[in-house]
Structure 1
Amino acid sequence: MPTPPSANAPAVTDGGLFLGLISGTSADGIDAALVRFQPKVQVLFGRTYPLPAALREQVLALSQAEARISLDDVGRLDTRLGQAFAAVALQALQDAGVVAADVTAIGSHGQTLRHDPSGDAPFSQQFGDASVIAERTGITTVADFRRRDVAAGGHGAPLMPAFHAAVLRSGDEDRAVLNLGGIANLSLMPRAGAVRGFDTGPANGLMDAWCLEHRGQAYDRDAAFAREGRVDESLLAALLADPWFALPPPKSTGRDQFQLQWLRARLGGQSPADVQATLCELSAATVAGALRREMPGCARLIACGGGVHNPLLMQRLAARLPGVAVETTAAHGLDPDFIEAAGFAWLARETLAGRPGNLPSVTGARGPRILGAIHPA
């Protein structure tokens, strides 16, 4: 059974090593980041390890809104993902030349299968049994970070704004951090006042799924597929007309909402390349529109996540945000591919130290909460 944060937690200081693990909405692999937080945040090692193909196919199939699964399959998938996360943790430590005894804790986000924070029975479900991770690695593992915030009336997402603010906020200018994973989310960090954050809609998830279906490739390398087409303005307008985009923060979403079925219901005979180009423009348009609306004085947009490697997406963001410096976390000494994994390492540290990990101004929760469950080594 998981241990509450207030009981039996190992001694923790702000020093030491922490390992963050996450498989994002795109389910393209498990990111591992070995992090030290003193004297400043340092990602000492970062690598993405592929999910076994059969496991990824099952995750992608089950993340669709109408997918069904038996209780037996639920249990097996949770265990198999836990085994995969444990194997990645051990391999990452070996590749980094670090022994398990030197790691204070693992912060594991797991793999989101469903996220529905609204209604009379809100929930957010991540798979990847943390007991399996703790047992196989011999390292205290903190996991299940979202559900306490949901229980407190929040969305349980996004959780990264607290980490972004801790490492990237400036007293000299209004900044925003943009995470371009399967879903895009913004962390708004004014020079003074509350940090806010929310999901803006699809980032890579729809583009990846469309590219896989039509090109057999997991993602659109160098935006080659999208560059073959042109933006279909009628399709873009139909996509932007979804009421979700007009909702005010706090708000969050996932693959169960923005997936190929959602796209197909709005198609009208466009070529596959034109659809890909339009999906890229959709990501840029929804991010830029949300930033202009919610932080019109933003001076700097700092991007991270897999989407920073899509040159067309980055170009379209800059074009839609004149007067805003658009850059990546690399300009601040942080590898953009491993910010989110580092963030879950940071959340594990906060949990073990008895500090809240959520921001009510972001998630809408009733107050600060210590997040996650501790699974002792």
Structure 2
Amino acid sequence: MLAIGLMSGTSRDGIDAALIETDGEGQAQAVEFHAMPYDDGFRFRLAEACRRAMAMQSPGFEPLVASVEAELTELHVQAVADLLGRSGHIAEDVGVIGFHGHTVAHRPEWGWTWQIGDGAGLAGAFGIPVVADLRSADVAAGGQGAPLMPVYHRALAEGLAKPTVVLNLGGVANITFIGSDGTLIAFDTGMASGLIDNWMQMQVNADYDAGGACAAAGQVDEERLAAMMADPWFDLPPPKSIDREQFSINAVQGLNLEDGAATLTAFTAAAVARAIDHLPERPTAIHVGGGGRHNGTLMAMLTGRTGVAVMSVDELGWDGDALEAQGFAYMAVRRLKGLPISFPGTTGAPTPMTGGVLFRP
């Protein structure tokens, strides 16, 4: 089945749209990928919507969030149209769309998670069934609702030497561990590029630290790093997840541009190293996807602080930019077939669960 996956991630930089051919089980073949960046105005409105949502006691009506949701849905319609145009396919060729939407607040400790995006509207725009709201059922059952990518990582990693880890570096970082006996464990490790991006935006109005060049020119403040790593969240056993807003750049205020970037980059790497300590076996390799893999300084720090071989998933022939969008396409097909997308070892759900709400056109 041809399936489209859509992801607007915690980096808030745009929409990733992927078209794959998959049976939702062992078969998954990339067909086309399209990345559509957000403009600066929308990124600002989206960040503010997230801030307001995080201040709420539960999901509900909030004028800016509602306005951003409508705008977000229209942008996703545009992304799907662009993807279809690039692929040479028409809407009638596609069996389902996996629509993650955008997480404006993630509060599993309060029993809810909130992804905005109009699944019914997207289904109506193309006449294609849409699977959306993929996290809420897991959280309602007592799970973390994240990460959801492990089921797709497992399919892709079938031929890799085990134990191994797939690490996603978006705004937040998460890992999938596949043990030598097939054990599947996954959890958020901490921040990835989120704080680094915030620091660069505040200090020099740059979207991100390109290639990690700024961090490479700085010195890590190990005392401040130790204070950040003393947060008790890092010692919690998996599965666990966090919201992008759980940590802030306050810990590095007062440092110069380069040292602040270096310390926040080391914070990401140190958190991954701490996460590795939670695993039942040390992995033979860490395969990295997401935008953070383009940060050479971060990749080097990951190697240094974990003591494990670190490499981009692109070296495996995977598309590290498309991985999450592909995963939501894969999960949408699993939802149609009644197959689980989350598991006790990946989200803490009580049983393997088929999540997502199906919207038919």
Contact 2:272 2:306 survives alignment (8 Å): no
Structure 1 residue aligned with 2:349: 365
**SS across alignment from 2:226:** helix
SS at match of 1:337: coil
> 1:143 Cα shift?
0.6
Unaligned runs of 5+ in 1: 1-15
Please tell me whether residue 173 in structure 1 is matched to residue 162 in structure 2.
Answer: yes
CA contact (8 A) 2:175 2:188 kept: yes
Contact 2:34 2:82 in 1 (8 A): no
State yes or no: 1:354 paired with 2:338. Answer: yes
1:84 paired with 2:75, answer yes
The Cα offsets for residues 131-162 of structure 1, whole Å up to 9 and x where unpaired, read as 12111122111110000101111000001111
Q: Displacement of 1:83 after TM fit?
A: 1.3
* Kept in 1: contact 2:170–2:291 (CA 8 A): yes
1:247 Cα offset (Å): 1.2
Distance in 2 of aligned mates of 1:85 and 1:171? 34
Question: For this pair of structures, how many residues does the alignment match?
Answer: 355
| Conserved 8 A contact 2:276-2:282 | no
Asked if 1:208 corresponds to 2:197, the answer is yes
For 2:336 and 2:201, the matched residues in 1 are separated by 40
Give the equivalent residue in structure 2 for 1:46: 33
Residue pair 2:97, 2:131 contacting (<8 A) in 1 also? yes
Instruction: Give me the TM-score of the superposition, normalised by structure 1.
Output: 0.90
Q: Name the counterpart of 1:305.
A: 290
Counterpart pick for 1:58 among 24, 42, 45? 45
Q: Does residue 263 of the first structure (1) align with residue 249 of the second (2)?
A: yes
- Supply the distance in 1 between the matched residues of 2:102 and 2:328 (Cα, whole angstroms): 13
Q: Which aligned pairs between 1:121-136 and structure 2 lie closer than 5 A?
A: 122-136=111-125
| Aligned-partner Cα distance in 2 for 1:50–1:294 | 35
Q: Give the Cα separation in 1 of the matches to 2:169 and 2:354.
A: 26
SS in 2 for 1:199: strand
Task: Compare 65-74 and 93-102 and name the one that shifted more.
Answer: 65-74
8 Å CA contact 1:183–1:202 kept in 2: the answer is yes
What residue number does 1:34 align with? 19
TM-score by length of 2: 0.93
One-letter code aligned to 1:276: A
> SS at the partner of 1:30?
strand
Aligned to 1:374: 358
> d(CA) in 2 for partners of 1:52 and 1:142?
26
Q: Residue 8 of structure 1 corresponds to which residue in structure 2?
A: none
Alignment partners' CA distance in 2, 1:41 and 1:268:
45
* Percentage of pairs with the same residue: 39
Q: Could you report, residue by residue, the CA deviation over 1:111-142 in whole angstroms, capped at 9, with x for unpaired residues? A: 100000013xx111001111121111221111
Residue identity matched to 1:241: A
Selected match of 2:317 from 306, 319, 333: 333
Q: Is the 8 A contact 1:180 1:303 kept in 2?
A: yes
Q: Which runs of 5+ in 2 are unaligned?
A: none
Q: CA deviation at 1:72?
A: 3.1
Q: Contact between 1:189 and 1:195, CA under 8 Å: does it hold in 2?
A: yes
1:82 is matched by which residue type in structure 2? T
Q: Is the 8 A contact 1:64 1:255 kept in 2?
A: no
Q: Which runs of 4+ in 1 moved over 4 A?
A: 65-70
How far did residue 70 of structure 1 move? 5.9
- Name 1:99's counterpart in structure 2: 90
Query: 2:6·2:17 contact (CA, 8 Å) conserved in 1?
Result: yes
